[in-house]
Amino acid sequence: MLIFGMGYSASRLAAQLRSEGWEVVGTSRTASLAAIAFDDEVAVLNALSDSSYILSSVPPLRVGGDPVLDRYGAAIAAAPANWIGYLSSTGVYGNTQGAWVDETALTGSGRRSARTTADLEWQQLRDDVRVFRLPGIYGPGRSALERVREGKAHRIDLPDQIFSRVHVDDIVSGVIASFSGPPGIYNLADDFPCSQNAVIEFTSLLLDMEPPPLQTLEQAALSPMAAAFYAENRRISNRKAKRVLGWHPQYRDYKQGLMALFHSFGQNAD
């Protein structure tokens, strides 16, 4: 497998595949022992010609297009690979006022216009593309456990705000399940969307800490990117991935995921 962009989720996938005997090549901004440089066209084109599976986890630019498609789209379209994957975002669905959305829902009404465009371009690149739409991702080293413990968590007074999330290992298992499934769009999310406040309160309980105070968005003084997180409200359906791929999340809700992380987190906390 060739992976464009060895970020958090892609690196976790690469580690799992390598443990199963796969040869995985990744790209990064600069060359290293673990990856080839994205700008090294000769190395990337050679990897494309040698890879049976190709995955991109590179997000689109805020101004401009998808850097992978802009530079290597034609080569990917002509590559001999029989599986192409793209890690997208459920942000393409926009704000649904808390309603459930599946893969048939309209896209393009939200703040992620560049992501929506890239999502569509990947779908149109070839007939064997799998697009994985992901909600909030958490896992080892990147969860509410770290934010609460470091005093960086917030509870925002928006009682009807609902989000979906997914454990990084469930992304890995979903991508792997698609190897023997048909092309298409798949939402990979857990089974029980909930408010961010519920996650923070449960995490505080696990850590035996007082939860942060309830604040308005103005009082919290969040960054524009963090504040934009609260501008949309939706529940993500994962039924298609279950039905078509036979995939089921190991961590069906945030409690299961956080408790699993807590055991390893607690062992290494001090």
Q: What is the pLDDT of residue 266?
A: 55
Own/partner long-range contacts of 23-31 (Cβ < 8 Å, ≥24 apart): 25/1, 25/51, 26/2, 27/2, 27/3
Q: What is the pLDDT of residue 16?
A: 98
Asked if 66 and 111 touch (Cβ cutoff 8 Å), the reply is no
Q: What is the pLDDT of residue 270?
A: 41
Q: What is the pLDDT of residue 13?
A: 98
Please spell the DSSP secondary structure of the chain, one letter per residue: -EEE---HHHHHHHHHHHHTT---EEEESS--SSEEETT-HHHHHHHHHH-SEEEE-PPPPSSS--HHHHHHHHHHHH---SEEEEEEEGGGG---TT-EE-TTS--SSSS-HHHHHHHHHHHHH-TTEEEEEE-EEEBTTBSHHHHHHTT---EES-TT--B-EEEHHHHHHHHHHGGGS-SEEEE---S--B-HHHHHHHHHHHTT-PPPPEE-HHHHT--HHHHHGGG---EE--HHHHHHH----SS-SHHHHHHHHHHHHHHH--
Asked if 229 and 83 touch (Cβ cutoff 8 Å), the reply is no
Could you say which residues of the chain have pLDDT below 70? 110, 265-270
Token pair of 58, please?
Answer: 């590179």
Q: What is the pLDDT of residue 269?
A: 46
Query: Distance between CA 165 and CA 135 in Å, rounded?
Result: 5
Q: What is the pLDDT of residue 124?
A: 97
| Start-to-end CA span in the chain (Å) | 37
Q: What is the pLDDT of residue 56?
A: 98
Number of Cβ atoms within 10 Å of the Cβ of 219: 12
Q: What is the pLDDT of residue 265?
A: 61
> Is this structure's pTM higher than 0.85?
yes
